[in-house]
Structure 1
Amino acid sequence: MAQNNGSHIRRKKKMKKGKKAVLILLIAILCVLALLLIAGGIYIKVMLGRIGRINPNDGNISYVDSIAPDPLEPDFSGVIVDDPVHINDAVDSVNSIEIQGNTKVISNILLVGVETDVGTRDDVNNYSGRSDSMIILSIDRYHKTIKMISLLRDSYVAIPGHGYGKLNSSYRYGGFELLAQTIEQNFRIKIDQYIAVNFKAFTIAVGAMDGVDIVLTDAEIDQFRKNNQKVPVKTNDEGLCHLDAEQALYYSRIRAIGDDWGRTARQRTVLQALMSKAKSAGIGTLHNVLYEVLPYVSTNMSENEILGYVGSAPTYLSYEVDQMMLPDRDEWYKVYVKGIGSCLGLKDPTETVLGLHHFIYG
């Protein structure tokens, strides 16, 4: 859909085919909800009622009554897209790049992992923590692809009304709305829909599945020991360890080995292990997981929108998946900012943002 002059073709070669772990976890939840939708409308209302709903006007979370779903999305196969995105590669600054958003066939959703209790009924206004992980999930229903863009939390960006700081600080200052505004200003992508998952949901899910089995390196095990964590025990020569919920959470957040790139890889490893167990779990176990996890999930989507994605979840499983890091390894430099600490600065912000747009809309 996007037009380009060839300067960004090389970037496409750098986009690694993503391990589907993060995506599969989200789609698995949607698929189970889809089964419940088929089984009975009343039950699906009960489950959806446990999801926190964010009011876009004030950031507060409420719990709303269910409403009828929209029709399932149409099949765009063979249809000529009449709203192509035109990307101007000749711009000389980020502010000159046109802001892009959803189209008739592309939906961009911001997935956020947060440290606070936002999403629970007890602390609906808590934005005291930073967003720990941020992924733009771009669903292209025309080309049948899903693209995942991991935004590195230490990126040094302009935060509307707050000067400059790390990307993940924008959530602390103003919740989801300010985080979305920060992404729009710095990366020229308008985000209308977002989903947040509290990390408590992570430990609940792993605990309900009776832990996960993961191969750990000696260096990773040593990190548990150095930081006074319960040390995993190897069960074979390959380093396979059984991790309980707290151990799995600690493992997924190790940054001393491989920095942010290694950390995100470990998160995918845990989610992949979790999904392997979920595939063989009974419907009763999956129900229990969803029932306990959903209160720690928050979104600004209406129930119509949620049910639209629920109905399409089985289709999304067949989509090709690509992913990228933003910034990529060769696009940043380390900078120390007084009062903030070590940050990631962009070598060529304009080039990086144009590359992002070509990745999503190309």
Structure 2
Amino acid sequence: MTTMTVAAHHSGEKAADCSAKRARVLDILAAAGRDSVLLTSHSALSWYLDGSRVGISLAGDPIAALLVTADGDHLAAFNNEAERLAAEELPPGVTIHQVPWPDSLMDVAAWFGAGVAPASEAELAVELRLARRSLLPGELDRYSRLCQDAAGILTDVLSLATPHTTERSIAAELAGRTVAAGADPLVLLVNGASRVDFRHPLPTNAVLGRRAMAVVCARRDGMIANVTRWVRFDAGTPAELDAEARIAAVEADIFDATVPGATVAEVLAEIRTAYDRHGFGPEQWKLHHQGGPAGYAGRDPRATDAVTDTVTLDQPFTWNPSGPGVKIEDTVLLSADGIRPLSVDSRWPAVPVNGILRPETLQL
């Protein structure tokens, strides 16, 4: 079995963030009485390795697994991936164990040897999720830039749209600009006026017509930005304008409920009452998931009544309240000063809602 150690070629800030993450995981192991853990998911690996790309296919599993022990970090990677990971992706100090491509990354005894009994990631899933919920300085800087880029891409593309533009051409432009920005387009949704009632509208050849929605979920450095924007080619109907104002009011109530110490389930309870309070009825929240904490997963995790994770400072969120023909969605950060939207572009029209600038529909 061939091994190599990654040389130091990262900034001091990145090294400090990696050290902080390692300390968090070692604390988790100590509390659980375990000697090691094997990280195997995109979310956990990208977080622990501070943004390393550990996948090839967007639909595939990671091409590496990481054994965290008190003595060091050991990455198992297929032999056709190890050199690239060492040269371009991994933080310093990681020992790489090359695994023949037909073999299993999960067979720790085969590539590491006897002497450890690692916990599976699933055994410590909640603890690991809580460990990554509060962003470190380097992470926040990278995430803020990604979120701004995603918002800017939507501005660039939708500003040039016409009623005759097709949904697929919008998606193609969004994809191209996302890749050009060094990010993976994980989700691209577009609907024109004929499909406006669909909450997850995969793009078709339909033209946009008089109004449209576009959604980008972009991943870079392991983190995922989620943004929704609307464009309209007329003045809008009174019913549309009223619904847009009411869904923004629902979101404002969600922001008010997203405070340190609250549980995700408690925020969801406030979401349910906000829909009814602003005229959408008590059942509207059941027709689409409502979002939740964000960062190294699209939602980390989606808000349900079973999620008792507490909200903390420097934690990102993407809440996405929606109703018939309306939706509002940005990636935001809970800072010491309250909710701060991250996915912003000053070129996009915005209006204060409860003291926070929120995107309006772009009228062309």
Q: TM-score interval w.r.t. the shorter chain?
A: under 0.3
Greater RCO between the two (CA within 8 Å, min separation 6)?
1
Query: When the two structures are superposed, what TM-score results if normalisation uses the length of structure 1?
Result: 0.26
Larger Rg: 2
Q: Which has the higher helix share?
A: 1
